[in-house]
Amino acid sequence: RKKKRLHLSTNTMSGRSSIVGVRCIATSSSSFGAKRRRRGQRKSTGCLCGFLRNGTTTTTPLTERRRFRRKAVGDVMMMMRSAAAEDEKEKTALVPIANGSEEMEATIIIDVLRRAGVHVTVASCEDDLVCEMSRKVCIRADCLIQEVVVDDGEKNNSRSSFDAIVVPGGMPGAERLAENASLDALLKRQKEEKKLIAAMCAAPAVVLLGKNLLEEASEATAHPAFDLGEAFAKDKKKRVCYSKASNGQVVITSQGPGTAIEFALALVKELCGEEKRKEVAGPMCVPEDVLMG
């Protein structure tokens, strides 16, 4: 059965209330009453009704449902923030240089890694920040190599931990790098922590081989003028070699200035992934055959 409700509209513009219109609204007494009863029930109990599988009803306190919902949302947001922070964590690399290092190799390594968003620290293994490279080009380092090593009397105790240490070649630069005690400590710690070690040109033979940093590598290459021994004779003509030992240690090596971009992009792939490598290589107009390698 329908009940009629009168809606009165008033005019208060003149300062006195007066009825200016009457509107009749037809409502169902059953639906209107049911809605009113439900509202009253919620106000009096503070509960929301639910249904169990067997058809019986149950009630969950409103405050408890809200508390559960807020906790669930908070947990999800925390997980998302944690995952994003892990994904966005900045990768770090150390590039040591010395008087006589190969300037093309050093510059290309630094430049390509920075294009990929890697935080690169260029450390001088000389007493001065400015190093005169093999072809008389001068490069100013970010710091001295001693500044990233703790001098606490403990062997191989490095203060800064890098995701990669990348050693450029060039002579006599590679020899000066091999003789540097601070770099030696950093490389040994890098091996202990099973983090990426990379070198090119003369450095695989002069720096890595002499420090036993290639003993677990399955393949390695260097400039054709340098010999890595019988174990790596099969790799002598390879432009870039990637080796991952059973313990997770990755070593990447390359031949010389002409392979520096390929080498640097291999580092980007290892540190940041294949998509980042392609993203960096595109604007540099790197040939497809290099990317496929």
Write the pLDDT tens digit of every residue in 133-180: 999 999 999 999 999 986 555 544 555 689 999 999 999 999 999 999
Backbone angles phi, psi at 139, to 5 degrees: -120, 130
At 2, is the pLDDT very low, low, confident or very high (cuts 50, 70, 90)? very low
* Contact predicate 135/103, CB 8 Å: yes
pLDDT in tens, 32-62: 556 566 665 555 554 444 544 555 555 556 6
Sign of CA dihedral 232, 238, 240, 241: negative
233 vs 5: which has the higher pLDDT: 233
pTM: 0.70
What is the H or E stretch that residue 285 is in? none
**Tens digits of per-residue pLDDT, 63-105?**
776 777 777 776 766 666 555 545 568 999 999 999 999 999 9
The 3 state secondary structure assigned to 157-175 is: CECCCCCEEEECCCCCHHH
Active-site residue identified among 131, 201, 241, 272: 201
What is the structure's pLDDT at 149?
A: 82
Of 125, 223, 241, 272, the active-site residue reads 223
7: annotated active-site residue:
no
Name the pairing type of β-strands 2-11 and 143-144: unpaired
Active-site annotation holds for 143: no
Radius of gyration of the chain (CA): 35
Q: Is the pLDDT of residue 222 over 70?
A: yes
